[in-house]
């Protein structure tokens, strides 16, 4: 299930897959050709996720860290329900199923304001990198920057709670209701439940028109004022962060776009989400006729805003500095309709819940550049995690 709230630059349509009929569990041996075969050889859209860890494999970066998720999980469904521009659409070859879904949704609309309690306050949180550990990681990143190994790097920490009474679907609907964002997703993968609340689009392709909307530059606010926008856009540090990543994205998509078609619009635009101002740009291109959207996706994956640049060197340093496996975090939630139509988010502000161990994991990070201050970077990281931190003790 992928939901989208109105009014955001990366707003997309909401899509629900009903009754999965086939699935592809991605492993280390899954090839891009197998991904294409699953997505394109049979009709109907594909929904699911591809993990950051699969992106490491694509880039030739090894990891020995334990990881209990598939590297990705894609599904096709018996029916698709979508909502866009105030219009509800059903797609299925089974008319009786369409009639049943239509009746169910009609009954649900009468109770749409009903809230379900997601459970008690979460237990005490554990961090893979606590305040001192994170700030030390920033200092080590600055050493890598000064020695020329990277010039921007995204460092993250994992936040974990043990919460045996948590209702993860109720938590998802609560977050969706109270913290709207352009890319909400609820996915089921084995015993795992994925709650994604991402503000960031990775790549969209509409009839061959490519759009990426990288976010870099963050300012937390309690009361939004006109000066806040200027404070963010006038910051040399935040501007440098965005410009570096926009340049990386331009290069990442150029190989699969028509020569001369890649261009940037709306550079240093700003939107508000979760009491944060976020700066972004629109990077456009035209998909080459001899390429498909998965060529584009896999050559640009994972998104530059959550690796840093240069990408491979930054990912190698991230692997050394972070004690946790990112897994789905910083991967992507995708809907792939055909060879020239796709939309995808970057799986940040995302949590996973294990139905057997009852552990809820969430993650947060920030982009480090040469003039970063370790204390402020930690504060920015915690600000991005605020809606999950508010669920329990910190």
Query: Known catalytic residues?
Result: 200, 216
Q: What are 353's two structure tokens?
A: 């819940």
Supply φ then ψ for residue 85, to 5 degrees.
Answer: 50, 45
| Contact status, residue 3 vs residue 173, Cβ threshold 8 Å | no
Q: What are 350's strand-pairing partners?
A: 196
Q: CA-CA distances (angstroms) from residue 369 to 1, 91, 309, 344, 362?
A: 36, 46, 10, 26, 24
Q: CA-CA distances (angstroms) from residue 368 to 94, 217, 267, 282, 307?
A: 51, 11, 20, 22, 10
Q: Please give the angle made by the CA atoms of 43, 301 and 271, to the nearest 5 degrees.
A: 95
| Contact status, residue 78 vs residue 18, Cβ threshold 8 Å | yes
CA distance 243 to 235: 12
CA distance 315 to 297: 18
The whole-angstrom distance between residue 130's C-alpha and the CA centroid of its chain comes to 23
CA distance 329 to 54: 11
Q: What are 25's two structure tokens?
A: 């569990």
């Amino acid at each position: 299930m992928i939901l989208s709230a109105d009014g955001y630059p990366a707003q997309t349509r909401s899509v629900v897959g009903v009754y999965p009929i086939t699935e592809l569990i991605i492993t280390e041996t899954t090839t891009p050709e197998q991904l294409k075969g699953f997505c394109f050889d049979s009709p109907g859209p594909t929904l699911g996720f591809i993990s950051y860890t699969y992106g490491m494999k694509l880039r030739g970066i090894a990891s020995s860290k334990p990881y209990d998720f598939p590297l990705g999980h894609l599904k096709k469904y018996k029916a698709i329900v979508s909502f866009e521009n105030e219009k509800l659409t059903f797609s299925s070859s089974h008319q009786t199923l369409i009639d049943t879904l239509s009746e169910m949704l009609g009954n649900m609309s009468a109770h749409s304001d009903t809230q379900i309690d997601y459970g008690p306050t979460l237990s005490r949180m554990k961090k893979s990198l606590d305040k001192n550990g994170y700030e030390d990681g920033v200092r080590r990143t600055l050493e890598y920057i000064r020695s020329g190994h990277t010039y921007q790097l995204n460092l993250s920490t994992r936040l974990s709670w043990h919460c045996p009474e948590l209702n993860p679907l109720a938590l998802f609907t609560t977050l969706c209701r109270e913290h709207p964002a352009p890319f909400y997703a609820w996915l089921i993968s084995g015993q795992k439940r994925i709650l994604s609340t991402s503000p960031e689009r990775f790549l969209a392709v509409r009839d061959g028109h490519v759009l990426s909307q990288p976010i870099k530059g963050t300012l937390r606010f309690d009361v939004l004022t006109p000066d806040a926008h200027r404070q963010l856009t006038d910051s040399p540090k935040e501007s440098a962060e965005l410009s570096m990543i926009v340049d990386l994205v331009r290069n990442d998509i150029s190989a699969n776009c028509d020569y001369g078609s890649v261009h940037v619009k709306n550079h240093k635009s700003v939107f508000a989400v979760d009491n944060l101002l976020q700066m972004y740009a629109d990077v456009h291109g035209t998909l080459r006729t001899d390429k498909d959207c998965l060529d584009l996706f896999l050559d640009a994956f994972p998104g530059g805003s959550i690796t840093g640049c240069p990408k491979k060197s930054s990912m190698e340093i991230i692997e050394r500095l972070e004690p946790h496996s990112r897994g789905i975090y910083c991967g992507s939630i995708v809907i792939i309709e055909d060879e020239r139509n796709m939309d995808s988010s970057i799986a940040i502000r995302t949590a996973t819940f294990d139905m057997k161990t009852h552990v809820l994991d969430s993650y947060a990070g920030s982009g480090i550049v040469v003039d970063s201050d370790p204390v402020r970077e930690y504060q920015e990281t915690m600000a991005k995690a605020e809606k999950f931190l508010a669920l329990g003790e910190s």
